[in-house]
Amino acid sequence: MAQAGDSADPESAPSPPGYGRGAAILSAGIGATGLVTYGYFALASHTLSEADYGGITLLWSAVFITVSVLYRPVEQLLSRTIAERDATAAQGNSHLRVAGTIQLVLGVVFAALALLFRRPLEDDLFEGSTTLYTVLVVTVLAYAVSYFARGYLAGSRRFGLYGALVLMEAVSRILFALAVAVGIASGQSVVALGIAAAPIVSLAVVPFALGRVPKAPPAPAAEQAPAEAEFTLTNGSGFALAVLGIMVAEQTFLNAGPLLVKATEGAEGTALAGFAFNVLLIARAPLQLFQSVQTSILPHLTRLGARGETDPFRRSVNVTLLAIAAFAAAVALVMLAAGPTVMDLVFGGEFEYDRLGLVLISIGMGLYLAAATLNQALLARSQARAASAAWLASAAVFVAFLVLLDFEDRVLQVEVGYVGAAALLSGALLALYRRGHGQAPGSGRAST
């Protein structure tokens, strides 16, 4: 049966990059971004004391826990909604107003809470550093605009600009660490300022991101979907809240380990947290590259679902999962052969990296990337609430493992907990995905 989006003349419609080409374009920009980000931490690790470097990693964790939880729901909301409305030739800008309203409210809430809890943040988390606290507040507020632009670009399939935005962030950030490394400047504060400068400098892309977006031709009047009344704050908030739960769980997976190590290891906690952070970079760095897939696959699957194209939907998911399996296997083999040597070369320091632990993190990384792929498929199918429940339950198991058990080697405990929780999560999301085979990919609303 013809879908609403099929009625437009294909010759007259714009042809922005599809999933494969979009992922390839983004891979170049985001792959470079991942390498530059890795370089930022390598320079910081070599030029700062272990305690000061630990402070940088805690600042990074605090910033990206906050912005991912607060702002990525709106990014995902825009990406999915713009793609769906494009596929069905829906008209109007209600989705932009709703997303903008949600983002503004979230930014105001963060600012109020940051002022209210300034003393605990500054004194307890950052050990009295006003600079690190100020960088946290400025950076989080700047990322509100950055993440809105990312969602807009992803849904519109303007992947070149998306890649330019995140690459500009990484390049501007590393310049501050480089200035310390070559002796132009010195100290933890300068390295930290790079984290604040990154989203501010990247806003230079926003005028290009928000202007001159190609619009799909409208469907004939008889098939055209209602315009403004179709997307409401209730629709957007329901989806965003479900994704917010996913983001809380995601950041728990990525950051709970170092934060709990700091909280439980006394005087050596900050330095050991930096060590745990370095180990988890084996999982984090591929996530930078995977953004190219994650960013392009959600609007792609949403379009396929809106058009009822079930077989291409499943093929896209299956091919992505196979590629992830091959990549994770390769990383695990590298870690088995030369993991400790690579980590010592990149980060230096006096910690000894355990080969088995590095392999475990590599396996966990593959399971986590598979879960992230299945998650995008579930979001495209309007199964956000079920996916959110699986994420939150798996994250709770991970935290319970870290808190209730007491390994002598706390870093090994983080590694074992990470791979176990990632296996639980990927299994739960796979079960949801398979259970949804009988429904049309696009059935349901964004708020479900």
Q: Where are the domains of the chain?
A: 16-218+226-436
Least confident of 153-162, 306-315, 423-432, 433-442: 433-442
The mean pLDDT value for 358-369 works out to: 90
pLDDT at 218 over 50: no
The mean pLDDT value for 319-326 works out to: 91
pLDDT value of residue 447:
43
The mean pLDDT value for 142-170 works out to: 87
d(CA 271, CA 253): 20
pLDDT at 323 over 70: yes
What predicted TM-score, i.e. pTM, was given to this entire model?
0.76
pLDDT at 259 over 90: no
Please give the mean pLDDT across all residues of the chain.
81
The mean pLDDT value for 129-140 works out to: 93
Calculate the CA 47 to chain-centre distance: 28
Per-residue confidence at 388, pLDDT binned at 50, 70, 90? very high
Q: CA dist 410 to 263, 317, 375, 407, Å?
A: 12, 36, 30, 6
pLDDT value of residue 37:
85
Per-residue confidence at 54, pLDDT binned at 50, 70, 90? confident
pLDDT at 213 over 60: no
Per-residue confidence at 227, pLDDT binned at 50, 70, 90? very low
Dump the DSSP string for 236-298. Answer: HHHHHHHHHHHHHHHHHHHHHHHHHHHHHSGGGHHHHHHHHHHHHHHHHHHHHHHHHHHHHHH
pLDDT value of residue 368:
93
d(CA 3, CA 10): 13
Q: CA dist 10 to 14, 113, 140, Å?
A: 8, 49, 41
Per-residue confidence at 161, pLDDT binned at 50, 70, 90? confident
pLDDT value of residue 349:
58
Give the length of the chain.
448
pLDDT value of residue 35:
82
Percent with pLDDT over 70 in the chain: 81
pLDDT at 31 over 90: no
Least confident of 21-30, 104-113, 301-310, 391-400: 21-30
pLDDT value of residue 142:
93
Least confident of 85-89, 248-252, 270-274, 358-362: 270-274
pLDDT value of residue 18:
57
Backbone angles phi, psi at 248, to 5 degrees: -60, -45
Picking from 278, 271, 291, 153, the residue whose alpha carbon sits closest to that of residue 212 is 153
Per-residue confidence at 403, pLDDT binned at 50, 70, 90? confident
Query: pLDDT digit string (tens) for 164-203?
Result: 888 888 999 999 999 999 989 888 899 999 999 999 998 8
pLDDT value of residue 134:
94
Least confident of 14-23, 31-40, 360-369: 14-23
Per-residue confidence at 445, pLDDT binned at 50, 70, 90? very low
pLDDT value of residue 11:
39
Per-residue confidence at 351, pLDDT binned at 50, 70, 90? low
Q: Which two tokens stand for residue 329?
A: 């296997």
pLDDT at 374 over 90: yes
d(CA 332, CA 82): 37
Range of 85-99, 104-118, 279-293, 352-366 with top mean pLDDT? 104-118
Higher pLDDT, 149 or 345: 149
Higher pLDDT, 183 or 33: 183
